[in-house]
Chains A and B, each alone.
Chain A
Amino acid sequence: MQYNLFYVMQSILILVLSPLFMGILKKMKATLRGYKGASIIQPYYDLNKLLKKGRVVSNRSSFITTIGPIVMLATSITTVFFVPVIFTTMQNTIGNLFILIFAFAIIKIFTVLIGLDSSSTFGGMGSSRESFISMMAEPLTLFLLTFLYIETKDFNLFHISFINSNITHYDMAHIIVMVTFIISILAENARIPFDNPETHLELTMMHEAMILDLSGSDLFYVELSSYIKLIVYLVILINGFIPIGIATTFTFSALLIGFLAFVFKLLFCLLGIAVIETTIAKSKLFRSAELFPATISLGIIAITLIYIL
């Protein structure tokens, strides 16, 4: 209870820095491809430009388009406060994994509804593709949840992080689930083997197709919420599966080590995403769906292993 203020502060840190991390990701991709790229604070300028503009809403759209973007942003801001960043203890009441997963489901369903709402062709197409992918990504997430519960006997992400930070050597099941979760991150955040976040080519886009009709401040809400969502997923990966170095005592040196370890791991994850996105091409929709049986069987194996070993 006594550290509540610090929890809020570390979550606000993530909230404020998430566009910066996206800028770093874009810069990494540009460097890997061999061109100069925009500066790493470019996302702040983009968001500022969007925020200054007014909103234009199609006269065919209903109240969903009016409230959708702000609900998405609000939900993603809520999720930030449910994850540990650089400090965790065992005495924490919020942080249940189920709330996180269902909050992400809220974001997803509002994206799909916004796509359908403005009755444009691309929106409907994007929504159907998004539902198709998420239909197979959801069971995967449940497998991962089950695994984390069996491993630590706890649903609270703060407690999971605390318990896992004591592990010195990871067993087979843990690593298999980590790989599965990385694929699940790519699927949930519309990254490359599933969807290209940069393109506006009508044949390939999924996430961009759904928000094609939004502009101005609505687009600002949706963009910021997608940035936050990616960073929160990466934070779950970092602090749920590899929480080495996270601060478990409230001292200055521990917090400093925790902060440095967190930034290092996050940059490493972003580099991994950048490498994946520059080396792999976006696969066909039905071919990318073939990746899910692989990950689901990896989840089955991991759960079997943790039961047996």
Chain B
Amino acid sequence: MIEDLLAVILISSIFMSGVRRVKLVTRVFIFQSLAIGLIALKLGLDTGKMDYYILGLLTIVTKVIIIPIIINKSLNQLKVNREMDLIVNGFISYILTGIFIMISFGILSSSHDNYIKTGIALFIIGVLLMVARKKAITQMIGFLTFENGIVLFEISLTKMSLVIEAGIVFEGLLLALVMGIMIFHINKTFDSINTDFFENLKE
């Protein structure tokens, strides 16, 4: 069951790295977050710890329901649908993601904990999305993927206090809210959400 969900996470992370349409990326992100939430709930069912239940519920509520609503709202305001000129194009980002996942699983091959490996793979894919895309909204989704990686990484650790877990989840929520407003203002100032135009800000 958990292995299946981890496979869903890996597949979704691959598709997320190369798809151009922002709505599609958001939908894949929802799948990924749902899988992570279900993993936490399943672990809660297995171990009986309250922490896992709370973490799973928080992840599902914030990342499956609230954040997609925010993203869709700002997408409708902006009328941006697809990422046109990528810094790293679709072909190469798919292959890069595959190689990154391969490396992160290879380096950590001595540990038998799949959460850490998948978590680190998600870190790298999130960073790739942040670096290789120009639209601010995709970069935000990249950061949220990074957050998903942190959640997975943290599931594998034996004990982290609930305050920190809740902090991580709410940080993601807050980031989405702030970025939603920020992107709106970026669009108002530059008539585009391409982060390349930030260079115009210097004297």
Contacts and interface: CB of A to CB of B under 8 A. Distances in A.
A294 B10 contact: no
Given A170-B3, A290-B18, A308-B106, A297 B94 contact: yes
A175 B94 CA distance: 19
Contacts of B105: 301, 304-305, 308
A176 B106 contact: no
A268 to B, nearest CB: 16
Nearest to B118: A172
Contact of A297 (B1, B6, B95): B95
Contacts of A301: 10, 14, 98, 101-102, 105
Interface string A271-309: 000000000000000000010011011101100110011
A292 B122 CA distance: 21
Interface in B2-47: 3-4, 6-8, 10-11, 14-15, 18
Given A293-B90, A296-B95, A296-B98, A179 B11 contact: yes
Interface residues of A, number: 20
Nearest to A171: B3
B14 A297 contact: yes
A7 to B, nearest CB: 32
A293 B3 contact: no
Contacts of A176: 7, 10-11
B90 A297 contact: no
A249 to B, nearest CB: 29
B109 A172 contact: no
B98 A300 contact: yes
Contact of B11 (A293, A296, A298): A298
A52 interface: no
Given A170-B3, A175-B4, A298-B11, A293 B102 contact: no
A179 to B, nearest CB: 6
A57 B101 CA distance: 53
Given A304-B105, A304-B106, A308-B106, A172 B99 contact: no
A293 B91 contact: yes
B173 to A, nearest CB: 29
Contacts of A308: 105-106, 109
A91 to B, nearest CB: 32
A293 B109 contact: no
Contacts of A309: 114
Given A169-B3, A298-B11, A293 B18 contact: yes
Contacts of A169: 1, 3
A171 B6 CA distance: 9
A115 to B, nearest CB: 27
B18 A294 contact: yes
A303 B98 CA distance: 11
B94 to A, nearest CB: 4
A309 B99 CA distance: 17
B102 A290 contact: no
B145 interface: no
B59 interface: no
B97 interface: yes
B9 to A, nearest CB: 9
Interface string B95-113: 1011101100110010000
Given A176-B10, A294-B14, A304 B3 contact: no
Given A172-B4, A296-B98, 18 more contacts: A169-B1, A169-B3, A170-B4, A171-B3, A172-B7, A172-B114, A173-B7, A175-B7, A175-B8, A176-B10, A179-B7, A179-B11, A297-B95, A297-B98, A297-B99, A301-B14, A304-B102, A304-B106
6 contacts: A175-B4, A176-B7, A293-B18, A293-B92, A297-B94, A301-B102
Interface of A: 169-173, 175-176, 179, 290, 293-294, 296-298, 300-301, 304-305, 308-309
